[in-house]
Chains A and B, each alone.
Chain A
Amino acid sequence: MSASPGAGTRPIVLITNLAKGYRRGDQHVPVLFDISLSIPEGDFIALMGPSGSGKSTLLNLIAGIDKPDSGELLVDGEDITRLSESELADWRASHVGFIFQFYNLMPVLDAFENVELPLLLTSLSRRERRERVDMALALVGLTDRRDHYPNELSGGQQQRVAIARAFIADPTIIVADEPTGDLDRKSAGEILALLRRLNEEMGKTIIMVTHDWHAVESARHVVHLEKGELVDDKKGADSFSASSATASGKGI
């Protein structure tokens, strides 16, 4: 493994010939065609593309909340397409942190309890949980808002709670679907700075869907999706040669 923070060489996510479609009536609507992609450990990927191109679909597959029709999807060496529903749930609990566009916090739980949620699925004691939640809240700068409920927090603050919730259980990957999509410039900037810190200081691998060019600047690499297929990235082709080669596996 690379000792330096940032993109290492070991692929933490390895996607091979992945395809996914939806049924609409008795019609099969293909959404993703033959996707192949390798994401090295410690990377920060921005997944871009026009609306309807299948970004969320791909992200959901990587996060293990949806199942592909065919292809392989290895996360940290494990083919998650072979896991059953309940195995997937356990796998998600320990491997994935999810950040949503609309935060998706539990309205009846305060900031502290929301962040604590993923830890309830671990064997940590109450005390250990509290220490970790306190640390996470400090990291996202919300120590003084720990007993505020989501409706008492601004959008940016809610998303920071959501970020704390996403990394609290120390997942293998963090996925984010348009995390700044619902925020103003300033709040979006704070969220992106936080994600950069997670990536740079804590070495977290992040995969982020975004339309926002400012967000793209925070990422190390960009992957473009168009009509369900990966196209050549437009940023940092030099430092991304290894994975971009795989990404354009179809020889685009």
Chain B
Amino acid sequence: MYYLKLVFKNIFRHKLRSLLTLLGLVVAILAFGLLQSVVNAWYAGSDMASARRLVARNAVSLVFPLPIYYRERIRAVDGVTAVGTSNWFGGIYRDMTPANFFAQFAVDHENFFDLYSEFRTRPEELLAWKKDRRGALVGRLLADQYGWRVGDVIPLKGTIYPGTWEFVVRGIYEPRDESTITRQLYFHWDLLNEEIKLKYPRRAEQVGVFVVGIADGSRAAEISQAIDREFRNSLAETLTETEKAFQLSFIAQTETIIAAVRIVSFVVIVIIFAVVANTMAMTARERLAEYATLKTIGFGPAFVGALIIGESLMITALGGAVGILATFPAAAAFKAAMGSFFPVFKVAPETVAMQVACALVVGLLAGLLPSIRAARVKIVDGLRYIG
């Protein structure tokens, strides 16, 4: 009891110093939590990928397309149930801020949505979209962000395919569950292809990737190899992998950025460790005479050491707790500011666990050296320090 009382009262002896240290801790733990959540959000899309879908792309690079006529040959491969095509459109809506960024794909309207059962479409809307060459099918998240309704016209400024493209919203699909991200716009590949045919005939009749439906997820590797074998030594060889692997390879391109974010999140912790360690070293030094007095009275070195470790842990626990609590509203605000650039932006329980661990480790390590020093200092030397 006395121990806790001493520890607790000691924390607030230098109010300004303690408050600044606490502020640093709150900011550091908060920043750590946010950065970790950014990393998680980055990977969130790949969690949604189905194991029953493969993606076939040009083996050289994703920027090279595949000829559309591959479709029939892929469909003929044993184990394949459906084949869809998809082109990344890359248009700009309103401006280039991350908040206004979303994915647009030109797909084969006839069977593309059969492959994506996680997108819940209304039959009449799906039909209307299939019938309208200029129609767009948009995700619920996207529609809500911009307040789009069926019938609205959406202008997109093409980057890969120049010009302004206008689409009419024909339907809004809903997510099957929480992990489904409904933040895309789909339109007819036929429309894209016709425009290209007029302007750049040599780029026509090509698709970005084939999305391949398979009945048995456990045969994914085998079927992928069979598809790639089919096109070996042809003009455009394919590289087929599961949709999840495809998504991850996409992320891998930005891996260095993610790695940097991850490193920064730990650098923040190292910095706050240095700050707390410095505070504790200063504090313990100033109180050497008090510790020596306690020892003179008969308290042991362990008690004195525990006073410092306890104080250090109590400060980091306090700062850590506030930091963790602040992470949730901060994450919500961050998500709002980013629009739905990160459709899944959550503070994961693992992130909170890491925040707790960081706070505890910082508290323990920062208090360790000053505590050992204070425990060891000879009484006669300690008494000479007049604080």
| A98-B6 in contact (CB<8A) | no
- Taking the nearest CB of chain A, how far is it from the CB of B375, in angstroms? 11
Interface residues on A, range: 20 to 34
Chain A residues whose C-beta falls within 8 Å of the C-beta of B2 in the assembled complex: 113, 120
B64: chain A residues within 8 A (beta carbon): none
Taking CB atoms, residues of chain A closer than 8 Å to B275 are none
* A87 vs chain B, min Cβ distance (A): 11
Q: Enumerate A152-189 residues with CB–CB distance to B below 8 Å.
A: 165
Report A181 CB to chain B, min CB distance, Å. 13
Contact of A90 among B293, B294, B298 (CB under 8 A): B298
**Shortest distance between the CB of B228 and any CB in chain A (Å):** 73
Any chain A CB within 8 A of the CB of B200? no
Interface string of B252-291 (1 = CB under 8 A from A): 0000000000000000000000000000000000000110
Residues of A contacting B300 with CB < 8 Å? Answer: 86, 89
Tell whether A218 is near chain B: CB-to-CB under 8 Å: no
Residue from the set B295, B296, B383 with the largest chain A CB neighbour count within 10 Å: B296
User: Which B331-387 residues sit within 8 Å CB-CB of chain A?
Assistant: 378-380, 383, 386
Partner among B13, B293, B299 whose Cβ is within 8 Å of the Cβ of A121:
B299
The answer to whether B297 and A121 touch across the interface, beta carbons within 8 angstroms, is yes
A66 within 8 A of B: yes
B10 sits at the interface (CB 8 A): yes
The answer to whether A107 and B298 touch across the interface, beta carbons within 8 angstroms, is: no
A55 CA to B2 CA, complexed, in Å: 34
Q: How far is the CB of A164 from chain B (nearest CB, A)?
A: 13
Also in contact, A89 and B299, with CB within 8 A (given A100-B293, A100-B383): yes
Chain A hits for B293, CB < 8 A: 100, 104, 106
| B9 within 8 A of partner (CB) | yes
Q: Name the residue in B2, B378, B383, B386 with the highest tally of chain A Cβ atoms < 10 Å from its Cβ.
A: B383
| Residue in A66, A92, A107 whose CB lies within 8 Å of B297 | A92
Q: Are B380 and A60 in contact (CB under 8 A)?
A: yes
Q: Which residue of A lies closest to B12 (CB)?
A: A108
Whether the Cβ atoms of B298 and A106 lie closer than 8 Å is no
Name which residue of chain A comes closest to B380, CB basis: A66
**Would you call B6 and A92 a contact (CB within 8 A)?**
no
Contacts of B301 in A (CB 8 A): 85
Are B386 and A102 in contact, with the CB atoms below 8 A? Answer: yes
Assembly CA distance A113 to B13 (angstroms): 17
CB within 8 Å for A65 and B299 given contacts A102-B386, A106-B290, A108-B6: no
Known contacts A66-B380, A104-B289: does B296 contact A92 (CB below 8 Å)? Answer: yes
Asked whether any CB of chain B lies closer than 8 Å to the CB of A74, the reply is no
Q: Which of B179-223 contact A (CB under 8 A)?
A: none
Complex CA gap A109/B290 in Å reads 12
B298 lies within 8 A of A92 (CB): yes
Q: Does A231 contact B (CB under 8 A)?
A: no
**Shortest Cβ gap from A169 to chain B (Å):** 8
Across the two chains, which residue of chain B brings its CB closest to A121? B298
Q: How far is the CA of A207 from the CA of B264 in the complex (A)?
A: 61
Instruction: Give chain A residues whose Cβ lies under 8 Å from the Cβ of B290.
Output: 104, 106-107
B296 contacts A109, C-beta separation under 8 Å: no
Q: Does A245 contact B (CB under 8 A)?
A: no
Contact assessment for A108 and B289 in the assembled complex, using a CB-CB cutoff below 8 Å: no
A240, B297: Cα distance in complex, Å = 31
A241 to B380, CA, bound (A): 33
Bound CA span A109–B5, Å: 9
A185, chain B: closest CB distance, angstroms: 23
Tell me the bound Cα distance from A66 to B381 in angstroms: 10
Residues of A within 8 A of B (CB): 60, 63, 65-66, 85-86, 89-90, 92-94, 96, 98, 100, 102, 104, 106-109, 113, 117-118, 120-121, 165
In order of increasing CB-CB distance, the 7 nearest A-B pairs are: A93-B298, A108-B9, A65-B379, A104-B293, A92-B298, A66-B380, A121-B298
Binding site for A on B (CB under 8 A): 2, 6, 9-10, 13, 289-290, 293-301, 378-380, 383, 386
Can you list 21 A-B pairs, Cβ within 8 angstroms, ordered by A? A60-B379, A60-B380, A65-B380, A65-B383, A85-B301, A86-B300, A89-B295, A92-B296, A93-B297, A98-B296, A100-B293, A104-B290, A104-B296, A104-B383, A107-B13, A108-B9, A108-B10, A117-B297, A121-B297, A121-B298, A121-B299
- Contacts A104-B296, A108-B9 known; list 11 others, CB within 8 Å: A66-B379, A85-B301, A89-B299, A90-B298, A92-B297, A93-B298, A96-B296, A108-B6, A109-B9, A121-B297, A121-B298
